[in-house]
Structure 1
Amino acid sequence: MLRRTHEYDGYRAYSYLEADKDYQPFELAKQLDRVPAHDLQLDDQQQARVDRILDEEIVFSLHEHAIVLPEDGGQIRQYNQTGRQRTGYEGLAHSGLTAVIDNFMAGASCITSQHGWKWDDMIYALGFRLADLAKQSLVRHALTVDDILTAKRDGKIALIAGLECASMIENELDRIDMLYGFGVRQMGIAYSQANMLGSGLSERNDGGLTNFGRRAVDRMNKLGMLIDISHSGDQTCLDVIEHSQVPVMITHAGARSVWPIPRMKPDEVIVACAEAGGVIGLEAAPHTTLSDAHPRHSLESVMDHFTYCVDLVGIDHVTFGPDTMFGDHVAVHRAYASNYAQQADEIVEYEKVEYVSGLENPAENFPNIAGWLVKNGYSDEDIRKVLGGNSLRVLAQVW
């Protein structure tokens, strides 16, 4: 059982409503101990240091899906179509997190339409979850850096509403203002497929940032909305970095030099992002951040990307965006396979897993990351930077 790191009163998502009458219930996956714990073999002194760091420092995940999936993976599409994804409050109470950028798009996959993300879908998903957040006391919807610092002071968790891409704005620039008004503070440019702003990373040809995309970047800069390029094509990434007046982030990706698939970023993009003041958050979605040294996806695979990126751009420009959820992430990939980039097994061979050991969900990610950093001799100052300090520095410039 994971150590609880925040006070939690037992609230469950949408419990202010009546199941079956007000919303469709599902049997949900366990938020804690769904899979075996990842044993880092820390001694008592090392574990005490991890606990102290999690208690004292700002711990910030750049990208998660802090929601609970149905226990039955075959119900994922049906669950998402209701629009009411359940925030995993119990799991978050054990996470050690101070703040998390939560992707609100997963619940907008196909509410009112069968393909892609539509404006109405996004409003449903955003509105339902923010209404539920307003009914509980553990997680606070954060809009500013001060909100994050206040959450740390008060023993709460700051949740930042983020979107993985801007497809739902179509060619309506003012929709960015509307999303900002609804409380969205981070948005990606394109997902795997191209949109009106630029190319996604699965496209055969990357035309870069469009003229409309440049206007969208300008508008996000003026509003103070963090720009993410995790799922954008390489040229689109470089164009966004060059055009933006403030740093941008790669909130959840890895290094293509470590694992050669399109989902990872080439050195050129990682370096350009860092030189403009941004950061890269290392991700852990199943079968992404593997390595030759650790081809079975695990915490150790992800940390191979971490050490590579630190060597490439320095400790001040690297952090973590594990990109996890409570439940069977692999089942999500099966359900929405057509939405993603070219499959990794079409490019390189690797051993498939049912979950990523050590980085399976938001409850275990940062205790294990902190444990790995302690075990491998990183200083408190460097750990402070990569757990949250680097992200806060960038947000202070952008927001």
Structure 2
Amino acid sequence: MLQEPAPRYQGHKSYSYLEPHSDYRVFPLAKEVGRVPEYDLGLSDAQRERVTRLLTEHMAISLHEHAVVLPENVGQLREYNRTARQRTGFEGLSRSGLTAVFDNFMAGASCVTSENGWKWNDLIYALGMRMSDIYKQDYVTLATSLADIYEAKRNGQLALVAGLECSSPIENELDRIDILYGFGVRQLGIAYSQANMLGGGLSERRDGGLTHFGRRAVDRMNKLGIAIDISHSGDQTSLDVIEASRVPVFITHAGARAVWDTSRMKPDEVIRACAERGGVIGIEAAPHTTLSADHPHHSLESVMDHFKYLVDLVGIDHVTFGPDTMFGDHVGVHVTYASGYAHDAGNRPEHPRVEYVAGIENPGEAFGNIAGWLVKHDYSDDEIAKVIGGNTVRVLEQVW
């Protein structure tokens, strides 16, 4: 369910302070609100009021999103990304009810200088261009500490935490981690499916685990205060990172392999290890990922099947949500970059294809519907507060 627009949002559109067609290339963009029908949870008025109250009173933090607006014609996506001027979905975010969002900047698809992504220059272009726009308005604010997130909550703003899914752009330059920290990055993934200098990705047939350089990188992230993400790392690399890190790590966006048997999901061994060291797993919702046998048509219900399993497995203190959504045709993104996403599938079980994930299609609606589902299923206020943000805050208190 969509929330009312945040009063602090004053209608800013990305790069509106520049001259279109002259200063930047214009693309017709997807709708941030109303692109797909609103999901009906069948809530009563009292339940809807409770959802709004919970999102207002408590920290609501999405552990993984790409809060950008895609071109209306997804066939223009590569051209759009090559400009480095991805648009932030300010309007949609204003209706999300979120306190903070971990934004991962689509670095793998920001192919400014290379068709293959994950290049250092591309990363800096994408990061700097988005930040330049964020600094020109006062609703979304860059957060580099928990104090910043709390201040945003008090001020009616939305805190954006800069994150990156993959460390491949640092190559073998350890000090680039410090540079990213200096640019405001506070969350960093180890490997994005393919192996790199740090360790193995989940698409590799043999995962050699965390490398010597990877251990040095983990140590540097710990010293700086950068949250570590192992969502796209191979199983052995994930276990090695959990062991090597002096503080808890995140699985920012994944699900349970026991519920849906693909390499993109995490096995119980990794999930338990993460939780035993105090970490948290954020549940994924990108199209055709967190499916289940009971709900093979990907929807909010499929995602919540993973939630129920993970709560039973490691307890409610170690589960949250990292939906991994964006504003626009997410399925079209996967088709456009098919060679880059196919390796995530593993031996994927047969399942129906969907045009979008009903109920959790974009960053604007995801947490309202997640909170609505929890309210509908009679979870307590304390339980809901933990899984919509409290668990993430607990980890950040140790990491940052």
Taking structure 2 as the reference length, what is the TM-score of the superposition?
A: 0.98
Deviations 1:137-164, CA, capped at 9 Å, x for gaps: 1100000000001111111000000000
**Structure 1 Cα separation of the partners of residues 345 and 214 of structure 2:** 28
- One-letter amino acid of the structure 1 residue matched with residue 383 of structure 2: D
**Structure 1 Cα separation of the partners of residues 106 and 178 of structure 2:** 17
Would the aligned equivalents of 1:201 and 1:341 in 2 still touch at CA under 8 Å?
A: no
Q: How does 1:66-145 map to 2 (within 5 A)?
A: 66-106=67-107, 109-145=110-146
**Structure 2 Cα separation of the partners of residues 243 and 360 of structure 1:** 35
Would the aligned equivalents of 1:255 and 1:267 in 2 still touch at CA under 8 Å?
A: yes
Aligned to 1:202, the other structure's residue is in SS state: coil
**Structure 1 Cα separation of the partners of residues 108 and 81 of structure 2:** 5
CA RMSD of aligned residues (A): 1.1
Would the aligned equivalents of 1:81 and 1:107 in 2 still touch at CA under 8 Å?
A: no
**Structure 1 Cα separation of the partners of residues 270 and 109 of structure 2:** 29
Instruction: Show the counterpart of 1:278.
Output: 279
Q: How many residues are aligned here?
A: 399
Deviations 1:222-252, CA, capped at 9 Å, x for gaps: 0000000000000000000000000000000
Instruction: Show the counterpart of 2:6.
Output: 6
Instruction: Show the counterpart of 1:293.
Output: 294
> Is residue 310 from structure 1 mapped to residue 311 from structure 2 by the alignment?
yes
- One-letter amino acid of the structure 2 residue matched with residue 198 of structure 1: G
Aligned to 1:340, the other structure's residue is in SS state: helix
**Structure 1 Cα separation of the partners of residues 343 and 124 of structure 2:** 29
**Structure 2 Cα separation of the partners of residues 203 and 343 of structure 1:** 10
**Structure 1 Cα separation of the partners of residues 198 and 187 of structure 2:** 15
> Is residue 15 from structure 1 mapped to residue 8 from structure 2 by the alignment?
no
Instruction: Show the counterpart of 2:332.
Output: 331
- One-letter amino acid of the structure 2 residue matched with residue 2 of structure 1: L
Instruction: Show the counterpart of 1:269.
Output: 270
Would the aligned equivalents of 1:192 and 1:339 in 2 still touch at CA under 8 Å?
A: no
Deviations 1:122-142, CA, capped at 9 Å, x for gaps: 110010000100001110000
Indicate the percent of aligned positions where both proteins have the same amino acid: 70
Deviations 1:101-140, CA, capped at 9 Å, x for gaps: 0002347531011223111111100100001000011100
Distance apart, 1:2 and its partner CA: 3.2
**Structure 2 Cα separation of the partners of residues 109 and 364 of structure 1:** 25
- One-letter amino acid of the structure 1 residue matched with residue 3 of structure 2: R
Instruction: Show the counterpart of 1:162.
Output: 163
Would the aligned equivalents of 2:262 and 2:346 in 1 still touch at CA under 8 Å?
A: no
Distance apart, 1:48 and its partner CA: 1.2
**Structure 1 Cα separation of the partners of residues 322 and 24 of structure 2:** 31
Gaps of 5+ in 1: none
**Structure 1 Cα separation of the partners of residues 109 and 312 of structure 2:** 38
- One-letter amino acid of the structure 2 residue matched with residue 310 of structure 1: V
CA gap of 1:107–1:157, structure 2 versus 1, over 3 A, is: farther
- One-letter amino acid of the structure 2 residue matched with residue 3 of structure 1: Q
Would the aligned equivalents of 2:2 and 2:368 in 1 still touch at CA under 8 Å?
A: no
Distance apart, 1:374 and its partner CA: 0.3
Distance apart, 1:47 and its partner CA: 1.0
Deviations 1:291-316, CA, capped at 9 Å, x for gaps: 00100000000000000000000000
Instruction: Show the counterpart of 1:347.
Output: 348
**Structure 2 Cα separation of the partners of residues 343 and 190 of structure 1:** 12
Distance apart, 1:3 and its partner CA: 3.1
Aligned to 1:350, the other structure's residue is in SS state: coil
**Structure 2 Cα separation of the partners of residues 44 and 233 of structure 1:** 45
Gaps of 5+ in 2: none
Would the aligned equivalents of 2:3 and 2:368 in 1 still touch at CA under 8 Å?
A: no
CA gap of 1:2–1:119, structure 2 versus 1, over 3 A, is: same
CA gap of 1:87–1:44, structure 2 versus 1, over 3 A, is: same
Distance apart, 1:16 and its partner CA: 1.1
Instruction: Show the counterpart of 2:364.
Output: 363
Distance apart, 1:44 and its partner CA: 1.3
- One-letter amino acid of the structure 1 residue matched with residue 73 of structure 2: D
- One-letter amino acid of the structure 1 residue matched with residue 120 of structure 2: W
CA gap of 1:343–1:225, structure 2 versus 1, over 3 A, is: closer
> Is residue 29 from structure 1 mapped to residue 30 from structure 2 by the alignment?
yes
Instruction: Show the counterpart of 2:152.
Output: 151
CA gap of 1:70–1:295, structure 2 versus 1, over 3 A, is: same
Instruction: Show the counterpart of 1:176.
Output: 177
Distance apart, 1:5 and its partner CA: 4.2
